[in-house]
Amino acid sequence: MKKKQGTIILVALSFLLVLGFSTQTLAGETYKMGLSLAITGPTSDAGNPYSKGAEDYVRYVNDEKLLGDDKLVCFIRDDAYKTENTKRNLEDFLDEEIVFYLNYSTGSTMALKQDFEEEKIPVLPASFHAGNLIDSNYIFLPIASYSSQAVGLAEYVAANHKGSGKPKVALFLHPSAFGRGPLGDVKKAIDVGLGIELVEVVEHGKDLDNTAMLKRLKSKGVQYVISQTVQPPVATMLKGAQSLGMIASTYGEAGKITFLGCHYAGGPDLVGLAGSAAENYYWTTSYKLMTAKGPGTEAQFALAKRYGRDDKLANSPNYTNGIMVVQVAVEAMRRAKTKGKKITRANLYEEMLAMNGYNAYYPLTTVGPVTFSKTDREGVDTLQLYVAKGGVFYGVGLPFVSEYVKKIK
Amino acid sequence: MSENRWLATGNFFTSYKAEQRIFLTHVDRLIFVCFLALLFAWPLVFQVSNKYMLVIDSILIAIIAVYGLNLLTGFAGLISIGHAAFVGVGAYSVATFARILGGDHMLLTHYWPLMIIIAGCVGAVFGAIVGLPSLRLRHLYLVIATLSFQMIFQWTINFSRFYDQGQSIAIGRVFWFTGKVVRKQHYFFWYYVILVFAVILGFTVRNLLRTKQGRSLVAVRDNDRAADAMGIHPGFTKVYAFALSGFYAGVAGALHAYLWRGVGFESFTLHHSISYLAMAIVGGLGTLVGSIVGPVAILMLDLQVENLAEFVGHYLTAIGDVATALRPLSFGLVIVLFLMFEPRGIANWWRIIRTYFKLWPFRY
C-alpha cells in the first residue's frame, strides 16, 4: 500500500514538474530594453512625452501580443539631461542584460559611444546629431540627421527664393555639439553649389531679448533664419521679431525675414511658447503630425486614448518620437523571431542593418521608410516641411529627400 | 596625555608633540584600522551593482576634491567658487594626452598612476597662477577672481576645437598586473585605486596640519598681519594654499577621467563648484572629518532627491516643473539649514559624540 502511495506521489510530482516547464515555455521569453532620458530638468518638455510614447507602445506590444507569447520590458529612467546620470542608468540596464538601448541627449550619446561599441548593443537615441555616427557602429539615428534637416531647409530656401540673387541666410544655433552639428555640412553644401549665401552664424545664449541680434541680421540683409536649437530660444527670437515687425507674412516676403527650423526647433509646443509669433514658421521633421490625417496618426491617437493620455500629449511629435523608436526595436525583434533567431544584441544588430530595400520598415508614424545598412545608419531619410497657420502646423508639399546631403556625404 | 594610552578619559597633554599626535589613544588607532579594513574588505564580501559602485567611486573622488577645497577655504580661509574648474584642469590634463596620443595610448592605459600625479601637478600650477590675485585681493574680491577662472575655464573648453568643444574625449581602459581592466572589474578596480589615493591624501592633510606649513595656513586665515609679524609670509602662504588645493583637485579630476572613461565639459561647471563648496560647508569647514562626511551626505541626498524627482516627474506629469525644482530646492535648503543651525557642519556632531565617549562615564 505504501509503495503504491509513493508511486502516485512520484507520478504527481513528475506531472507538476512537466507542467511547470511547459507553462514556462507557454509564457514565452522576456526581452529587456532600457531608455534613459530627461523626464525632469532641461528638455524635459520633450523628454516627458517621449517617455510616455515609448511606455505606451511597449504596453501595446504586450497587450496585443505583437511578439507572440514573449514579453517586452522597457526600463525607463530619468537622467535629468545629465551624462553622469545617463551613464549610471546605462550601467544599471547592462546589469539587467538588456538587448536594445534607447538613449536621449547628444552629449550622453557621444560620451557613451565607446560603451556601446564594447557592449555591441544597438542604440537608438533621440538625438539626430550626425556626429553620433562617427567612430561608432552601433548607434542608429531614427530619422534624418540635424545636418540633413538643415541642408534640406537650405535647399528649400534656395529653390523657392523669389527675389534676385542668392538668398541671404543666417543660422541660429544652440551653443553645443547638438546645435553646431549642421554648420559644417551646410558650409560643405554651399561649397558644392547650394545656392544660398550664409551671412551669419549666431550661437544664442539665454537672452530674453534678441532685438540687437535681429536688427543686426536685418542690416546685413538676412532674408531667412534657419534654427537648430530647442524651442524656447526660437520662441524668444520669434516674439522679438514680431514686435519689430520683421516676420514675413508669406514665404520669402521681400523686406522681411522668413524663419525656419529643424526638428527640435519647432512643432506644436513652439506655438504654445511663441503664440501668434509662430505664425508662418517653417519647420521640418521626418515624423507625421497629427494634423495630417491618415492611418499612422489615427493609430497614434487611438494608442494615447487607450492608455488614458490627454490631447496635448497625443498630439505631441515627441510622443510620436517615443513610439517610433520602440516600433523600430520591436520590428527588429519580430524579424529575428520570424527567422528563428534568438533575441540577442548581435541578432538585433544584424536585423537593424538588414532594414533596407525591400526589407525597409514602414512604421506609419514617419513620412518615409526606415532604412539602415552598414553604410547608412540614418533611419528615415525623407523630410516633410510644415508651416504654422492659425496656430497649427500643416504640411507643405510632398515629403522630400535632401539632394545636397547625398553630394556631401 | 594620560599614562594609559588605551583608556584616556580627558586631555592630559604634557607637550606640543603629544597634542599633535595623529591618534590620541590606541583605541582611536584601533578604530581607524578597523574602519580602514572594513573599507577595503566589504566589496569582497558584498556584491554591489555597477550602478552603485559608480556612485561610491564618485563619492570617493568628491572626498579627494573636497580635501583640497577644505585646505583652501577651511584652513587657509580663502573662499573659492572655481574648484570644479581645478578638478576640470586635472581631467583635461589627461584628456590633452588623449587628444595628442590617442585615448588608448600606452602612457594613458599603462602608466595611469603617473598620469594621475601629472594631472595633480598641472592642477597645482594652475592653482598657483589663479592664487596670484590673492596677494592683493581678499574676501568677496577673491571669490570673484576664482569665479572668473571658472568662467574662463568653461569658455575655453566650450569653444576650443582641440577639446572638441566640450564634447566627451574618450579615455581607454587601463591595464593592471593581471591585464586589461574590463567592464566587469572596472568600478571594483577603481574603487581600490581611489580609496588608496583618498587614504594617502587624507593622511597628507592630517600630517600637513602638524607641520609649520600647515599651521601657517591657519595662522594666515585667523589674522594675516599677526601671521606676518610672526615671520610667516602671508602672500606665499596663500599662493601655496591655492597650489596645494589645485593638486588635490587635479588628482580628483584625473581619477574622474579614468573612472568615467572620458572627459566632458559638463562635469566641471559652476554648479559643480558650488556643490563642492556645499559639501565642505555641510561636512564642516576646517576639519578633515568634514571633508569625508560632506561629500557622502550631499551625494547621497542628491541620489535620493533624484529618485523622488523621477517618481514625481514620471507619475505626476502635471507638476513636472516641481520635479525639476526638487533637486536645487533641497540642495539650497540643506545649505541654508546647516548655515543657520549647524555652521560647524556634520563634523561637529562627530566631535560631540567623540567628546562624550572620551569623558564617559564622567559628564565633564
The answer to whether B319 and A39 have CB atoms below 8 angstroms apart is no
Asked whether residue B260 is assigned to any structural domain, the reply reads: yes
- The parent domain of residue B245 ranges over 48-272
Do B313 and A78 count as a contact with CB atoms less than 8 A apart?
yes
Q: For residues A112 and A162, state if they share a domain.
A: no
B363 domain-assigned:
no
Residues of A in contact with B323 (CB under 8 A): 39-40, 44
**Domain identity same for A315 and A269:** no
Question: Which residues from A are below 8 Å from B when comparing CB atoms?
Answer: 39-41, 44, 48, 51-52, 76-78, 80, 82-85, 87-89, 91-92, 94-95, 107, 110-111, 113-115, 118-119, 131, 175-177, 180
Counting every residue written for chain A, the total comes to 409
Is residue A260 located within the same domain as residue A361? no
Asked if A178 and A266 sit in the same domain, the reply is yes
* The residue type at B186: H
Residue A241: exposed, middle, or buried by beta-carbon count in 10 A (0-12, 13-18, 19+)? buried
Q: Is residue B242 part of a domain?
A: yes
What pTM was computed for the model?
0.87
Residue A156 lies in domain: 147-285+385-408
Give percent of chain A above pLDDT 70. Answer: 93
Contact list in B for residue A84 (CB cut-off 8 A) is: 58, 260, 267
Residues A310 and A244 both lie in one domain: no
**Cβ <8 Å between B167 and A110:** yes
Question: Hey, what's the cell of B305?
Answer: 532627491
Q: Are residues A306 and A278 in the same domain?
A: no
Longest dimension (CA), chain A: 107
For residues A380 and A238, what is the distance between their CA atoms, to the nearest angstrom? 29
Going by the DSSP 8-state scheme, the letter that residue A313 receives in this structure is H
Continuous segment of H or E residues that includes residue A258: strand A258-261
Q: How far apart are CA A141 and CA A352, in angstroms?
A: 11
Instruction: Determine whether the interchain pair A176/B166 forms a contact, defined as Cβ–Cβ distance below 8 Å.
Output: yes
* Chain A nearest-CA residue for B265: A107
CB A80, CB B327: distance < 8 Å: yes
The pLDDT score that the predictor gives to residue A292 is 73
Q: Return the closest-CA partner of residue B123 out of B82, B167, B87.
A: B87
Does residue A18 sit within a domain?
Answer: no
Task: List the CATH number of the domain containing A331.
Answer: 3.40.50.2300
CB-nearest partner of A80 from B50, B260, B306: B306
Tell me the shortest Cα–Cα distance from B332 to chain A, in angstroms.
Answer: 16
Dihedral sign for Cα atoms in the order B88, B93, B99, B102: negative
Q: Binning pLDDT at 50, 70 and 90, where does residue A22 land?
A: very low
Rounded to 5 degrees, φ, ψ at B122 are: -60, -40
Question: Band of the pLDDT at B188, cuts 50, 70, 90?
Answer: very high
Give pLDDT, residue A25. 46
Look up residue A139 and give its three cell numbers: 548607434
Any domain includes B112: yes
pLDDT digits (tens, 9 = 90+) for B294-311: 999 999 988 888 888 877
Asked if the model's pLDDT at residue A305 lies above 80, the reply is yes
**Residue A105: closest CA among A136, A78, A73:** A78
For residues A181 and A258, membership in a common domain is answered with yes
Helix, strand, coil shares of chain A, percent, nearest 5, are 50, 20, 35
Same domain, A316 and A364: yes
Are A40 and B324 inside 8 Å of each other by CB? yes
Position A185 in a domain: yes
Question: B208 in a domain, yes or no?
Answer: yes
How many domains would you assign to chain A? 2
A-B interface: how many C-beta pairs under 8 angstroms?
91
C-alpha cell at B194: 581611489
**Per-residue pLDDT band at B319 (split at 50, 70, 90):** low
- Three-state DSSP at B256 gives helix
Instruction: Select the residue of B49, B260, B317 nearest A87 (Cβ to Cβ).
Output: B260
Whether the CB-CB separation of B125 and B119 falls below 8 Å is answered with: no
Do the domain assignments include residue B85? yes
A313 domain residue, yes or no: yes
The amino acid at A112: L
The reply to whether A367 and A281 lie within a common domain is no
Q: Which residues of B touch A (CB under 8 A)?
A: 49-51, 54-55, 58, 158, 164-168, 170, 183, 187, 260-262, 264, 266-267, 306, 309-310, 312-314, 317, 320, 323-324, 326-327
DSSP code of residue A99: S
Subunit contact A78:B310, Cβ cutoff 8 A: yes
B362 is a domain residue? no
Given a cut of 60, whether residue A109 has pLDDT beyond it is yes
Exposure string for A35-70, b = 16+ CB within 10 A, e = fewer: bbbbbbbebbbbbbbbbbbbbbbbebbeeeebbeeb
Same domain membership, residue A266 and residue A247: yes
Count of domains for chain B: 1
- Tell me which of B57, B180, B184, B261 to substitute to probe the interface with A (most A C-beta atoms closer than 10 Å): B261
* Residue B348 belongs to a domain: no
Res A316 pLDDT > 70: yes
Q: What is the grid cell recorded at B102?
A: 590617442
| Angle (nearest 5°) at CA A128 between A127 and A130 | 120
Q: Are residues A351 and A393 in the same domain?
A: no
What value does the mean pLDDT of chain B take?
88
Burial B153-170 (b: 16+ CB within 10 A, else e): bbebbbeeeebbebbbbb
Kindly tell me the burial class for residue A297, based on how many C-beta atoms sit within 10 Å of its own C-beta (0-12, 13-18, 19 or more). buried
Asked if residue A254 and residue A232 are part of one domain, the reply reads yes
Q: What own/partner pairs with CB < 8 Å and gap ≥ 24 does A270-273 have? A: A270/A231, A270/A234, A270/A235, A270/A238, A270/A388, A271/A388, A271/A391, A271/A392, A271/A393, A273/A231, A273/A232, A273/A235
* Residue B36 pLDDT class (50, 70, 90 cuts): very high
